[in-house]
Chains A and B, each alone.
Chain A
Amino acid sequence: MFEMRSIVKHFGSVKALNGACLSVKPGEIRALLGSNGSGKSTIVKIMGGIVRANAGELLMDGVPIRIESAADSRSFGFAVAYQELSLLPQMSVIDNIMLGHEYTRRGGLLDEKRRRESVRGLLERLEIKCSPDALVQNISPSEQSMVEVAKALSREPKFLLLDEVTASLHHDEVESLFRVLREEKAKGVSILIVTHRMNEIYQVCDSATIFRNGATAAEGPMSRFPLNEVIYHMTGTRVKEEAAAAPRSTAKGQDALLRVEHLTMKPKVSDISLHVDKGEIVGIGGLEGQGQAEYMKAIFGDLTPDAGEMWFEGRQLRLKDTSQAVKRGISYISGDRTKESVFSLRTIEENLTAGDAALGGVWSWVSAKKIRKMAGDAVERYQIKIGAITDSASSLSGGNQQKLAIARGIAVGPKLLLLNDPTKGVDINSRNEIHKILRDSSAEGMGVLLVSSDTEELLGICSRIYVFYEGRVVAELSGDQRTEENIVRAMIGGAPEGREEAGT
């Protein structure tokens, strides 16, 4: 049994953990729940030896221990699959899994045969279909997550920690992962899962620990925590029985804001047409990697399509660069924080006003006062949890960084907002707030095109949903056709019931 007591950790002025407690027993699958910024990732990193606690006790079977490095953590039997993945993109799957504990023969030479056998066994067990020799950068995001899990499992840990690894997994991948977790549990392994997908928790977890603001808010067997109870402990407030407002189209007739015709970009996108009206939130669904990201980037002028035409506000849209898109009133925000949405060295203020900085003449004057006010307003309006506005953006938790990015996109008042899986890894509360922001902005006439891998999100806010499958639209769902079953069926390539030709 492993126990953590009264753990405290701060990053600069932000307190990530403030007296958190957590324990796992052998043969137990425990869920670690909490809003973004409640300290879940931090406590996992403390166990992994990546972050050191400022105060608190770690006890292994009642004996105090210290974890000062990743090597310490491994020697105590911990293995972690990280949310942001610890894989080296330019190395093969087999090299990644075996990295740091390769089987060797005499003289330190690699025992290629044993390596291969052991990795092949793992891949089969987790039903990962990629080749062991494929480079990690060439396999799909969901396969990468599974390889991350395989890498952790290859250490034959006593404690397996999974930090939001299911976020980008497909349904059947989740199934095989859970089967393996149950097998490991039967062997007596302790497993800790961090996730935002509530339905998964009820499927596999025996018990739960819920964090709120860096401290343990509740803890106990899963049966004690129905969904309402979980949300209560996460937020500290009871959920009002507020029916999710059915998305209504505020579109006004035929004034299409964006019309894309026969856009083709080999090999990812083939012949996709769609349109977004003013004040409309249009969704793009589908499994990850079906060409959604490329499609969005082509609209934003980042990628050049092979064929097809785009019309924006009645005028043809031919973009050479993203800066031209922003000038025309198109903003793009993605869920990929490090590569596409957050300036981590710069301050919160600079992040919030980056969109403004990108517009206008190079030599134009920037008023410090105006900037400060703009940033302050955004922090308040979007309830971003910050230390000081001049702290660097990296001091924020993942969910708050994401809110920061979205606030930046909306702050410049775009006519069309392109969102590429913006709420990936964002907790329910922040997600609801982000949805409200989007609804409010669309009511004011902004068009939104939203790519999401989350079916619930699409149903919650989109009046029309296109489903992508292998670079094509397999369904355009609106009105009564917008059902979970139809989306899921289309996601795996099946046509919806009451079939209607897409792209009309």
Chain B
Amino acid sequence: MKHKNFAGSLQRFVQGHVVFMAFLMALAVFCVNIILNPRSLNRNAFGSILALTSLLALSGAGQTMVVITGSGIDLSAGSIMSLTAILSVQLMNGANQHIGLCIVISVALGALLGLCNGIGVTKIKLPSMIITYAMSNVITRLQFIVTEGKPTGSAAPALSAALSYRVLGLFPAILFYCVVLSVLLFVLLRHMKYGKRLYLLGDSHSVAHYTGIANDRMVLLTYVLAGILYGVAGLIGAGYFAYVTCGMLDVYTMRSIVAVVIGGAVLTGGKGTYFGTIAGALFMVVLSNCLAVLSVRDCVQNIIMGLVIIGVLTLYNRDKSVRQ
């Protein structure tokens, strides 16, 4: 009985402090990592964890908003990132003169593709999984058509420098873009009517409708904003990695979804924060870094990642209290 109570109160604590728990778990995994391989405690490894977390967090920004709407998940996140990354690299072609144009294109293209997703969900009333999956297929194939499968060019040196520069030799510059974005998103979700409406309609589309919230317009807007965020994340990814292959950033679709969920968002909508997503991203990057440091084979790595994620989500599993 006592044991049961302890497990119960642990679960209640975990459920009440999801974001904190995600940070705590990341820290725990990092400590394990250091104990197993003390050499991994160096500036370089630390900096690369921060950089990869930032990139994952950037790609998770749009995903977080889409998940909060309760209209589903966005399976086109990674493919939009790949597309803008490839186009940018091709356009910049190792020179600085087109950076401005690349930013405009990434934003516009992201917005356009997000708009397509949004129209599919709100006007054609397709399940978001279907429309975004179809879109991601189209977008991925487009990359092959545009590049004939062999992307050329590399990111502008100025852009790469602006992203991979290490402040004090430790903090990668990409981290600061992530911080700026998280402040923007915090303001958007917490202090603007947009955010208030997003959480309300995510909780219940029908109650929101009778409260006078224009659900369709909100969802459409959310997909467009998410598209822009993916587009920018793709550009940043291009700058960070400097060289890009077709579909290289596609993995960010699943990773961003997992980061969002580990960060405490509910896939049925109405719950979740961007800080949670950042915490989820950090946990995932630290975990995969730890497995890489231990030189575990790729396939085993994936199995362990999967098991850990299932374990974490089991702890989170919300036991809804029945009332009325």
Q: Are A16 and B200 in contact (CB under 8 A)?
A: no
Interface membership of A229, Cβ < 8 A: no
Is B20 interfacial (CB 8 A cutoff)? Answer: no
B194 touches A339 (CB 8 A): no
> For the complex, is A354 an interface residue (Cβ under 8 Å from B)?
yes
Bound-state CA distance A303–B218 (Å) is: 20
**A397 contact set on B, CB distance < 8 A:** 323-324
Q: How far is the CB of A475 from chain B (nearest CB, A)?
A: 29
Residue of A322, A358, A366, A398 ringed by the most chain B CB atoms within 10 A: A358
A464 is an interface residue with CB less than 8 A from chain B: no
Other-chain residue from B191, B209, B323 in contact with A16 (beta carbon distance below 8 A): B323
What does DSSP make chain A's interface, helix, strand, loop or mixed?
Answer: mixed
Query: Is B207 a contact partner of A322 (Cβ separation < 8 A)?
Result: no
CB of A346 within 8 A of CB of B194, answer no
**How distant is the Cα of A84 from the Cα of B271 in the complex, in angstroms?**
25
Q: Which residue in chain B gives the minimum CB-CB distance to A363?
A: B192
Evaluate whether A11 and B321 lie within 8 angstroms (CB atoms) in the complex, with A343-B207, A357-B200 already known: yes
Q: Return the chain B residue nearest A331 by Cβ.
A: B212
With an 8 A cutoff between CB atoms, is B6 at the interface? no
A11 touches B323 (CB 8 A): yes
Residues facing A in B193-214 (CB within 8 A) are 193-197, 199-200, 203-204, 206-214
CB pair A358 B197 closer than 8 Å? yes
Residue of B nearest to A359 (CB): B212
Q: In this assembly, does A345 line the interface, its C-beta being within 8 Å of a C-beta of chain B?
A: yes
B321 & A323 in contact (Cβ 8 Å cutoff): no
Question: Cβ of A42 < 8 Å from any Cβ of B?
Answer: yes
Among B193, B207, B208, which residue has the most Cβ atoms of chain A within 10 A?
B207
Q: Which of B178-237 contact A (CB under 8 A)?
A: 190-197, 199-200, 203-204, 206-214, 217-218, 221
Report B51 CB to chain A, min CB distance, Å: 31
Q: How far is the CB of B196 from chain A (nearest CB, A)?
A: 4
**335-364 of chain A: CB within 8 A of chain B:** 337-346, 350, 353-355, 357-364
Kindly list chain B residues whose C-beta atoms are within 8 Å of the C-beta of A355: 211-212
- In the assembled complex, which residues on chain B have CB atoms less than 8 Å from the CB atom of A344? 203-204
Question: Quick one: which of A339, A342, A350, A360 contacts B199, CB cutoff 8 A?
Answer: A350
In whole angstroms, what is the CA distance A343 to B269 when docked?
12
Q: Which residues of the other chain, A, contact B197 by a CB distance below 8 angstroms?
A: 357-358, 362
Please measure, in the bound complex, the distance between the C-alpha atom of A11 and the C-alpha atom of B203, giving whole angstroms.
Answer: 20
Q: Contact between B324 and A401 (Cβ–Cβ < 8 Å)? A: yes
B192 & A41 in contact (Cβ 8 Å cutoff): no
On chain A, the residues within 8 Å of B217 by CB distance are 323
Chain A residues near B209 (CB, 8 Å)? 302, 322
A: residues with CB less than 8 A from B are: 11-12, 16, 41-42, 45, 50-51, 84, 300, 302, 321-323, 325-327, 331-334, 337-346, 350, 353-355, 357-368, 394-398, 401, 408
Name 24 interchain pairs, CB-CB below 8 A, sorted by A: A11-B321, A12-B321, A16-B323, A45-B322, A322-B210, A322-B211, A323-B214, A327-B212, A332-B210, A334-B210, A338-B204, A339-B204, A341-B207, A341-B210, A346-B199, A350-B200, A354-B196, A354-B200, A355-B211, A358-B212, A363-B194, A366-B192, A401-B324, A408-B211
